[in-house]
Amino acid sequence: MTRGRFISLEGGEGAGKSTQLRALAALLRGRGLDVVETREPGGSDGAEAIRALLLTGEADRWSPRAEALLFAAARADHIEKTVRPAVERGAWVLSDRFLDSSRAYQGMGDLTDADILTLHRIGSAGFLPDRTFLLTLPEAEASARARSRDVNGADRIGGRDSGFHQRVADAFARFAKQEPDRVRTIDASGEADVVTARLVGALEDLLP
């Protein structure tokens, strides 16, 4: 049996990751592929329980170190229970966020990028996507999209200040530069179907 593929979508809040994940999944199913849609934090029963701990409550509910460990624990469960079994049976797994989010959000303060990668090696044996799409959108456009959707306000992490979100965007851009084979930057502006076409174009080399 042929191994499937693991694809992650990354980027700041409101860039359109969830919208594009759904569109890409539909398109790949149309090509006859077995597709699993998943997300982080979450994607397995245990990781979804950790998601609720991570995204709700006061801003200072977790220390930066505890927060990074919770994300790593959620990811370990997600990979073990959902991602790896699906890829092994030949499915294409599309994940809304993955490791690069921890590197960008948790790895540029009390902890470094090297610390996050070490946690990932311990928790998940360094498991990486076959391809990662970094959706980029000017900050004003992204926050307008996120605001139009989040009528009840941002979550614990999304609610941080714009300086924080700019540092996150800079970190993602650095990863794309460091790992151009795995991480492909996709312009997320314009109509959703135009963005989907860009994604498919950047996936053709992996498609059967």
Q: Which is nearer to ligand Z5A, 34 or 187 (CB)?
A: 187
Q: Which is nearer to ligand Z5A, 89 or 159 (CB)?
A: 159
Using rule CB under 6 A, residue 46 touches ligand Z5A: no
Considering only residues 22 through 41, tell me which ones interact with ligand Z5A, judged by CB under 6 A: 40-41
Give 176's contacts (C-beta < 8 A, 6+ positions apart): 134, 183, 184, 185
Give 70's contacts (C-beta < 8 A, 6+ positions apart): 41, 50, 53, 54, 62
Could you tell me the CA-to-CA distances from 9 to 18, 22, 56 in Å, in that order? Answer: 8, 11, 23
Using rule CB under 6 A, residue 17 touches ligand Z5A: yes
Q: Which is nearer to ligand Z5A, 87 or 157 (CB)?
A: 157
Using rule CB under 6 A, residue 145 touches ligand Z5A: yes
R_g over Cα of the chain: 16
Q: Which of 30, 32, 148, 204 binds ligand Z5A (CB under 6 A)?
A: 148
Q: Which of 76, 157, 169, 199 binds ligand Z5A (CB under 6 A)?
A: 157
Stretch of residues binding ligand Z5A (CB under 6 A), selected from 9-17, 56-64, 83-91, 171-179:
9-17
Tell me how far, at minimum, the Cβ of 189 lies from ligand Z5A, in Å. Answer: 7
DSSP letters of 126-171?
Answer: T---SEEEEEE--HHHHHHHHHHH-TT---TTTTS-HHHHHHHHHH
Tell me how far, at minimum, the Cβ of 31 lies from ligand Z5A, in Å. Answer: 22
Contact 99, 128 (CB under 8 A): yes
Could you tell me the CA-to-CA distances from 122 to 5, 74, 101, 115, 183 in Å, in that order? Answer: 22, 13, 17, 11, 22
Considering only residues 78 through 107, tell me which ones interact with ligand Z5A, judged by CB under 6 A: 97, 101-102, 105-106
**Chain residues that interact with ligand Z5A, rule: CB under 6 A:** 11, 13-19, 40-41, 71, 97, 101-102, 105-106, 145-146, 148-149, 155, 157-158, 191-192, 195
